[in-house]
A and B are shown apart, each in its own frame.
Chain A
């Protein structure tokens, strides 16, 4: 068995000790995980982005305009000093503004209008008769949206619609819960497969 498998097996067991209760072995493994994860992230971010997109084009290809984002990036470090912290607002402004600018068309088109269109369009089946399942979808979308509309009191027919909306939400939460169980069990099964087959050699 190679050293990597032994270490991975021991560390896996160290993390599993948390199931009994929080303990020093788990804490030590957790601290190592946090440190190594950040170190890994630092390397990938540096080599794949800062070098690729900035230092290489700036210093080897002479793209001098990149000095501006370099300065803006460095201004972010102003956050470490109370006196210079206002400087970091400028790069943050670029990020927030850019994020908002690209989000508007995406949110309007892909997330809102296309979803609304997909709710209304299939209501009539090709034979001209209403499609019952699609009517359920339409009722679900409208009543759930009513439930999330808090500017009007949930009373009368409005309140009944909101209650109907909660039933649809519960179906969604129940479905999502089942898929969450599925996901978490898969992850544990994957780790057990490693322990039983690679680490302990009990299965093939």
Chain B
């Protein structure tokens, strides 16, 4: 019963939204809006709250165990400080909430991603080798693209950006399109399997 009822609900919501896609009737569109807004959106927002609670629990437990206390404490303080600032001063452009976001979160997060520039450069030196035909093709495509998307490519010859554009718009795009079609067919069959109850891994292992 604990597995059957969720499966029935899943099939019901899936079939309803699938059928509503094809209808332009005002009642159908209203129902579509209700399910998307009042159910899908709100429940999803709650799942995110569950994630936040879980994060705090894990960090507090680690703090209790005495593992890297200062790091866990800083994380938990970070979680609580933001709602506190929002409750007291709101979230307007000049609020402390936005100040923390713009002067702490944005610069740090952007810098974490900027670190990848160095690892990409290191990978270029250590891993990008012409060991086989395939690796050589990959290397050649990368070199032409890198050259064309820097201003040097424009300066050397007009043909370089043209060749690079052709490679991107035709052979490269063809492979990406095949991947896209593959993902599309895979998602389609998985969605159908979920709706008819063949795919049940989302229910978890317990009875």
Q: Given A39-B80, A42-B79, A172-B176, do A72 and B43 touch, yes or no (CB 8 Å)?
A: yes
The answer on a CB contact under 8 Å between B5 and A169 is no
The contact of A107 among B107, B133, B141, B187, by CB within 8 Å, is: B187
List chain B residues, Cβ under 8 A from A86: 2, 206
Asked whether A188 and B114 contact (CB < 8 A) given A178-B145, A181-B120, the answer is yes
Cβ-based interface call for A112 (8 A): yes
Is the pair A93, B6 in contact by a Cβ cutoff of 8 Å?
yes
Question: Which residue in A28, A74, A171, A173 is a CB contact (below 8 Å) of B71?
Answer: A28
Is A144 a contact partner of B71 (Cβ separation < 8 A)? no
In the bound complex, CA of A124 to CA of B73 (Å): 65
B115 to nearest A CB, angstroms?
6
For window 179-204 of A, CB contacts with B under 8 Å fall at 179-182, 184-185, 187-188, 190-191, 194
- Given the interface pairs A33-B109, A76-B50, A172-B176, the reply to whether A184 lies near B117 with Cβ below 8 Å is yes
A interface SS class = helix
Task: Let me know if A98 and B14 touch, CB within 8 A.
Answer: yes
Task: Give the interface size bracket for A toward B.
Answer: 35 or more
Residue A34 is within 8 A (CB to CB) of chain B in the complex: yes
- Flag if A79 contacts B83 (CB, 8 Å): no
Which residue of chain B has its CB nearest to the CB of A119? B177
Number of interface residues of B (CB under 8 A): 122
In contact, B195 and A98 (Cβ under 8 angstroms): no
Inter-chain contact B114/A191, CB cutoff 8 Å: yes
Which B residues touch A123, using CB under 8 A?
none
Digit string of A14-27 for contact with B (CB within 8 Å is 1, else 0)?
11101100000001
Q: In the assembly, what is the distance between CA of A86 and CA of B6, in Å? A: 9
Would you list which residues of chain A between 87 and 139 have a CB under 8 Å from chain B? 89-105, 107-108, 111-112, 115-116, 118-119, 133-134, 136-139
Chain B: which residue is nearest A191 at the CB level?
Answer: B114
- Considering the complex of A and B, which 8 residue pairs feature the smallest CB-CB distances, nearest first? A35-B78, A140-B174, A39-B82, A174-B141, A101-B17, A73-B46, A178-B145, A111-B184
List chain A positions with a Cβ less than 8 A from chain B: 3-5, 7-9, 11-12, 14-16, 18-19, 27-47, 49-50, 53-54, 65-66, 68-70, 72-74, 76-77, 79-80, 85-86, 89-105, 107-108, 111-112, 115-116, 118-119, 133-134, 136-142, 144-145, 148, 165-182, 184-185, 187-188, 190-191, 194
